């Protein structure tokens, strides 16, 4: 009864199933591992944030370049404040406002973006407090350059002069005529009555939409694997039923070309398939 499994058609079906199931299981397991990695990163980021609050500030040069291990670390830097910019459309404590960003010129002939604080309302250069003059030493938390469109960073362009949408070297290099660090610092204590900007977690360390997408893809791949098995058994069952019907003679007679013969169709002699006996009986 199961000899049909050795036909070329079923060989193709069986090979497809044998390849599809491991592939779906592998992809589901990989997506699950990605979700678990994001959960672990989120947990470690929370633990690191607690540790950073207890650590002493370190010189900027010791913590560069910025990565997941150094984001949020206490850092100290010295220099003179220069150009000041505003970063609009930033929310804090449920209110809309803007950051006051000032570039600190260090001894390395580069400028360090320093967020001195947050103010509510629309970005207004007249309301933003001026930066301290002379040599200053700042202490704050190290942050990685922002990416427009990610982690709540607006991706808008065409801002007025003196404003920037993202705090990053790529954005600031077009606004100032000198080199800028590929990092920025948010002060622990904001200047001149402004509110301090809280430390942001490193990229790809939170349970964001991407993390739950990985979890959703995990379920989809395992559902695909189950669907493949279900369809294989369904095809097998239909084929077995067809073989049984053929053995019991329940399959309708087939024309030579494979079509079913119509009982009312006349044979070449001009008589119907019911035959002359049936016609005489009717008479």
Per-residue pLDDT of the chain (283 residues; tens, 9 = 90+): 667 777 888 888 889 999 999 999 999 999 999 888 887 776 776 666 666 677 788 899 898 888 888 888 899 999 999 999 999 999 998 899 999 999 999 988 889 999 999 999 998 888 899 999 999 999 999 998 888 766 667 666 678 888 998 898 888 888 888 899 999 999 989 888 899 998 876 665 556 677 788 889 999 999 999 999 999 999 888 888 887 777 777 766 444 444 444 545 544 444 444 444 444 444 4
3-state helix, strand, coil in the chain (%, to 5): 40, 20, 40
Helix boundaries (H) for the chain: 8-54, 169-172, 209-247, 275-282
Instruction: Calculate Rg over the CA atoms of the chain.
Output: 36
Place of tokens 């600031």: 172
Residue 21 confidence (pLDDT):
94
**Positive or negative: CA dihedral 70, 74, 77, 83:** positive
What pLDDT score does 49 carry?
64
User: What pLDDT score was predicted for residue 185?
Assistant: 94
What global pTM score does this model have?
Answer: 0.61
- Residue 199, Cβ neighbours under 10 Å: how many? 19
Q: Which two tokens stand for residue 260?
A: 């079913």
Tokens 């959703």 locate to 216
């Amino acid at each position: 009864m199961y000899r049909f499994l050795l036909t070329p058609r079923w060989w193709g079906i069986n090979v497809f199933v044998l390849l599809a199931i491991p592939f779906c299981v592998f992809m589901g397991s990989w997506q699950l591992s990605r979700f678990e990695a994001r959960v672990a990163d989120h947990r470690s980021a929370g633990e690191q944030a607690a540790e950073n609050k207890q650590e002493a500030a370190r010189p900027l040069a010791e913590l560069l370049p910025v990565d997941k291990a150094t984001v949020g670390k206490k850092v100290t830097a010295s220099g003179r404040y220069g150009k000041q910019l505003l970063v609009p459309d930033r929310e804090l404590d449920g209110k809309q406002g803007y950051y006051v960003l000032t570039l600190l010129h260090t001894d390395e002939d580069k400028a360090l973006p320093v967020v001195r604080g947050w103010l509510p309302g629309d970005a207004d250069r007249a309301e933003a407090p001026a930066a301290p003059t002379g040599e200053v030493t700042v202490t704050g938390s190290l942050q990685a350059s922002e990416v427009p469109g990610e982690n709540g960073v607006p991706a808008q362009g065409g801002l007025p002069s003196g404003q920037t949408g993202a705090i990053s070297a790529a954005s600031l290099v077009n606004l100032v005529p000198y080199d800028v660090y590929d990092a920025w610092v948010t002060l622990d204590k904001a200047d001149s009555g402004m509110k301090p900007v809280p430390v942001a977690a490193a990229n790809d360390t939170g349970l964001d939409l991407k993390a739950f997408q990985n979890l959703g893809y995990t379920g989809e791949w395992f559902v695909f694997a189950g669907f493949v098995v279900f369809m294989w058994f369904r095809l097998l069952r239909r084929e077995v039923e067809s073989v049984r019907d053929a053995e019991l003679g329940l399959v309708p007679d087939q024309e030579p070309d494979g079509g079913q013969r119509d009982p009312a169709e006349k044979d070449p002699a001009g008589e119907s398939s019911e035959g002359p006996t049936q016609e005489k009986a009717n008479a």
